[in-house]
Chain A
Amino acid sequence: MKGCFIAWATDDATRKRGGSGGFVSAALAAALDNNLVDNVLVLKKTSPYKATPIVTNDPKEVLECAGSLHFVSVNMAKYVPPGRVALPAKPCDAMGVIERAKRGQLDLDEVYMLGLNCGGSLHPKKAKKMVEEMYNLDPDNVIGEDILKGELILKTADGEKALKIDDLEEKGYGRRESCRYCETNIPRMADLACGNWGLPVDKLGKTTFVEVITNKGEEIFKNAVDTGYVEFEPASDKAIELRDKIDNVMKGLAEKWHKRLFEPIEKLSDSERLAFYVDALNRCIGCGACRKACPVCTCGDSAKCLIEGDSNYKIPLFLMVRLLHLMDSCIGCGRCEDVCPAGIPLTLIHRRFAERMQNKLGYVPGINLDKPPYFEGELREDS
């Protein structure tokens, strides 16, 4: 039963609540209901700008969490509980989960990832400011949001207002920087890939385009259908084509953004680049928030990066060790930059170092378990 389908939740309330058809929420609830998993990890929305990751075994609570959520930045990988668990996963969540599995933090056989197609998310603080200044709305009045055809639509009690994301980003708002140049939009490393890309116009917002990728994905999909939570029909070739087309357009846009953001650094001479790094990294106050948020970081309390350096170092030792350590394994999720209280463009800098090494090794992190993390993997193979 692998392949592409168009599916929707049979329960009308869930179908309406969901971002597009409510398939993911229904499938998660079905997995809990039929005891396919012990727990589900979902984001519970408390306002359009805030959501908390929760672990629950109550199908009702899962269904309540349905709906699109673009104004939060969380990486779910660090919250995955032990035992059989299902979670909705953006590409960076899925990559984080796989990297954590490589480091022995979880058993990938027990984790069911319902991948979500992702064109990017927004930082909640910036989103609030954007709602005020670009949409001329009170941030607290916003009751819903969605991204459709390159437009960000905000829903209030009075109606809807849509603005082009391109225009928002030109003005410094819009998606997080790391999302703009992220080229992984369809989470093909997850078990399922769900989204609204490729749907015919009359089904947009009412159904979910689902690609079943792995055996685990098949299990989840079959279970959802068998328990009656979900109905489906096969996706037409046209729909599959359209989805690929959207994916390619997004990839093209990402490449453009990559060029735009990285070329200024590329053009710097060696000494100018060092000055840029020293200048940026020296703003570090050593709070360790980036380390806590990073889905790949697993060293714990005995981590090398916690060794304190001298205060006269040009670059804090903490960041030097982290830069080195993430050179092979940075997945570019952008969490470090989101949480940095000193406003260091951490993701950009980490990506500069990581892209260099990953290109050299021909290694892409977070795709599968075939290759262990290079730095540690080589050690394991030898010894």
Chain B
Amino acid sequence: MKEFDPKIVAFCCNWCSYAGADLAGVSRMQYPPNVRIIKVMCSGRIDPLFVLMSFLEGADAVLVTGCHIGDCHYIDANHKTKNRFEFLKEMIAELGIGEERLRLEWISATEGEKFADMVKETVEKIKKMGPSPLSPKVMQ
């Protein structure tokens, strides 16, 4: 049987975490190809709906990334990200699909390594956990 290949959605903000991911790329850091990066202008643009839909469409994990608190290019928008994340985290926990499937990480433009490590860690963890039970393809 083919090994389970997790699908991971990562939301990255234009100014920090996407640049971080870019740095990981140009520095030729190795990280698993399971992650699909979606670039948004700011982590504050990540509507909770995006995250819920990712899970319902079959994502095994969702990574929400943005600039460090205080570094946001839109002054304080990542405070909103954090606030929304708290709600999402509780919701995912209550639904019982595993809190580890949702992760918030602040990544600056210089932290290419942090981005690569985060993806590596997540893929390892999700491989152990198996596919998301909310994914429409999982047969019961």
A interface residues with partner B (beta carbon < 8 Å): 268-274, 277, 304, 307, 309-310, 312-315, 317, 320-321, 323-324, 327-328, 352-353, 356-357, 360, 374-375, 378-379, 382-383
- Is B121's CB within 8 Å of the partner chain A? no
Determine how close the nearest CB of chain A comes to the CB of B51; give it in whole angstroms. 9
Say yes or no: A309-B80 contact (C-beta < 8 A), given A273-B96, A327-B91, A353-B91: no
CB pairs A–B below 8 angstroms (27 shown)? A269-B96, A272-B96, A273-B96, A274-B95, A274-B134, A277-B96, A309-B56, A313-B56, A313-B57, A314-B136, A317-B49, A320-B56, A321-B52, A324-B52, A324-B88, A327-B87, A327-B90, A352-B94, A353-B90, A353-B94, A357-B90, A375-B83, A378-B79, A379-B80, A382-B76, A382-B79, A382-B80
- Is B5's CB within 8 Å of the partner chain A? no
B57 near A310 (CB under 8 angstroms)?
A: yes
Determine how close the nearest CB of chain A comes to the CB of B104; give it in whole angstroms. 16
DSSP majority for the B interface?
helix
Interface size of B by Cβ–Cβ distance < 8 Å?
27
A314 near B87 (CB under 8 angstroms)?
A: no
Known: A269-B96, A313-B136, A314-B56. 10 other contacts (CB 8 A): A268-B96, A304-B49, A313-B56, A321-B49, A321-B52, A324-B48, A324-B87, A324-B91, A353-B91, A382-B79
Determine how close the nearest CB of chain A comes to the CB of B7; give it in whole angstroms. 15
Among A270, A317, A374, A383, point to the contact of B96 (Cβ < 8 A): A270
Q: How far is the CA of A172 from the CA of B48 in the complex (A)?
A: 38
Determine how close the nearest CB of chain A comes to the CB of B110; give it in whole angstroms. 26
Among A268, A323, A374, A382, point to the contact of B91 (Cβ < 8 A): A323
B97 near A270 (CB under 8 angstroms)?
A: yes
> Which A residues are CB-close (under 8 A) to B134?
274, 314-315
B52 near A310 (CB under 8 angstroms)?
A: no
Q: How far is the CA of A352 from the CA of B57 in the complex (A)?
A: 24
B87 near A309 (CB under 8 angstroms)?
A: no
Q: How far is the CA of A313 from the CA of B133 in the complex (A)?
A: 11
> Which A residues are CB-close (under 8 A) to B94?
273, 352-353, 356
> Which B residues are CB-close (under 8 A) to A269?
96
Q: How far is the CA of A375 from the CA of B79 in the complex (A)?
A: 12
CB contact list, B39-74 vs A, under 8 A: 47-49, 52-53, 56-57
> Which B residues are CB-close (under 8 A) to A352?
94
Say yes or no: A309-B53 contact (C-beta < 8 A), given A270-B96, A270-B98, A314-B134: yes
Determine how close the nearest CB of chain B comes to the CB of A138; give it in whole angstroms. 45
A352, closest chain B residue (CB): B94
Contact indicator per residue, chain B 6-49, by CB within 8 Å of chain A (1) or not (0): 00000000000000000000000000000000000000000111
Determine how close the nearest CB of chain B comes to the CB of A140; give it in whole angstroms. 44
> Which B residues are CB-close (under 8 A) to A304?
47, 49
Contact indicator per residue, chain B 73-108, by CB within 8 Å of chain A (1) or not (0): 000100110011011101101111110000000000
> Which B residues are CB-close (under 8 A) to A307?
49
A317 near B53 (CB under 8 angstroms)?
A: yes
Most buried by B among A271, A273, A313, A321: A313
7 closest Cβ pairs, A-B complex: A270-B96, A274-B96, A273-B96, A313-B56, A312-B136, A378-B83, A320-B52
Determine how close the nearest CB of chain B comes to the CB of A349; give it in whole angstroms. 9
> Which B residues are CB-close (under 8 A) to A382?
76, 79-80
A378, closest chain B residue (CB): B83
Q: How far is the CA of A378 from the CA of B87 in the complex (A)?
A: 13
B98 near A315 (CB under 8 angstroms)?
A: no
Q: How far is the CA of A353 from the CA of B136 in the complex (A)?
A: 22
B82, closest chain A residue (CB): A378
> Which A residues are CB-close (under 8 A) to B93?
356
CB contact list, B123-140 vs A, under 8 A: 133-136
Q: How far is the CA of A353 from the CA of B88 in the complex (A)?
A: 11
A313, closest chain B residue (CB): B56
B99, closest chain A residue (CB): A270
Q: How far is the CA of A273 from the CA of B133 in the complex (A)?
A: 12
